[in-house]
Amino acid sequence: MLKAFACLLLLAASAVADPVFEYREVIFRVVDEGGHSVMGAKVELRGLDRDALGIGRDEEEAGKCRGWKFETTAAGLFTARFGKFRQYDHQQTTGLIEPGYGHFYFVAEKEGSAGGVSCELLNLNDEDLAELKKYEIDTDCPPQEFEEWSRGDFSPYVIPDRTEAKPIEIMLKRGLDLSGQMLDTGGRPVRDEEVNVFLDLHAGSHTGHGGEIFGQQVTTDRTGKFLFHHVYPNHFYVEMMDRGDGSPYWIRTRVRNRWVDKVEDEIVPRQGEWEPMNYEKTIDLRVIVARRPLYRYFGRVTDPLGRGVASAKVQIRCSLHDPERTFEDDHDYWWHTTTDRDGNYSLRVGSRFVNAIWVTAGDNVGNDNALEGELMAPGRYDITMRPKKKGE
């Protein structure tokens, strides 16, 4: 009897100790461009904060996720809830990965459409809510088409504690077509190259990745042509395969009728190309690629007395964009060589926008303070070695 009573006391104590989590509910409705409800649309919640990025990618973690994926009813509806807690704290307590404080978007997909994206959803704690009221931030500003996802026609919606009767609408859009052709510098078609398009919600991860949506992939045909249907009509990006496997180097671009001597992979639709119910609009893209690296960087590496340094390791880091735009622009795309016996180096790279030249030789390094951070055009760059600093 005493043992049973003690067990009851322990259970009662643990029940009191366990936190009670509170939630906010929001009702959504997915519609087409004509305003009709869409049944059976697949919807996924995307969290964009580093501590609330969303659904785990491996099976073990995905099995712990709850409240991130939905399917619309016959009336086009689904109901989502957001916790009044930090996602990490809730996960540590319950083992479940549920959406908590942060900012989010719902992404809806249905075959035959480009998909739909909700307004920006802000699930804020009391401190952040007070900050909003203090500065009277306008969350109902007029739409400005084709601004980034964090503003414009995706103006933020602060999730209230009380469920509102009128659903928030997510419109599935028909989208537009992107037609293109890939040619080499001699005007010959480049076949069997993979081309991707995607949109980006710009997740706040340290790598810049985590917010990509609506990805499509095609392969160039024997004439170098490619075609994408149902591209969502907001800022979208075009991407070739990674340069590390012998793929050609993108050096020139024509978007519509305008040529530029660089990678132009961010495309902004114009008003006539995104109008609802307009099914005939196509954006034309022409990509010129080189089959080998074209841009030469060269120079001489010397010691402080002006003598050439043999066998020094020279590393050149390229940016694919001007100005730099992506995580890769500042971290990836490296080329390597070594100096000859007189300290000379020469290297051809795949982009004409170099943002660092690093040189090392034994206990010495190049004067990289003068050769890092600014985009450098192809040409001569002489480098003087200096002793390594502590930690280099």
Q: What's the rounded Cα separation, in Å, for the pair 34 and 25?
A: 27
Q: Give the confidence band of 13 by pLDDT, cuts at 50, 70, 90.
A: very low
19 neighbors 71 (Cβ within 8 angstroms): no
Q: Structure tokens of 135?
A: 């500065």
Element (H or E) spanning 35, and its range? none
Q: Structure tokens of 294?
A: 């074209």
Q: Give the confidence band of 189 by pLDDT, cuts at 50, 70, 90.
A: very high
* Token pair 């459409």 in the structure block, residue: 113
Q: What is the number of other CB atoms lying within 10 angstroms of the CB of residue 349?
A: 22
**Residue 368 gets which letter from DSSP?**
G
* Token pair 């994408």 in the structure block, residue: 228
The lowest-confidence range among 93-102, 122-131, 198-207 is: 198-207
Of 144, 104, 182, the residue nearest 268 (C-alpha)? 144
Maximum mean pLDDT: which of 120-134, 234-248, 292-306: 292-306
Q: Structure tokens of 118?
A: 């909700």
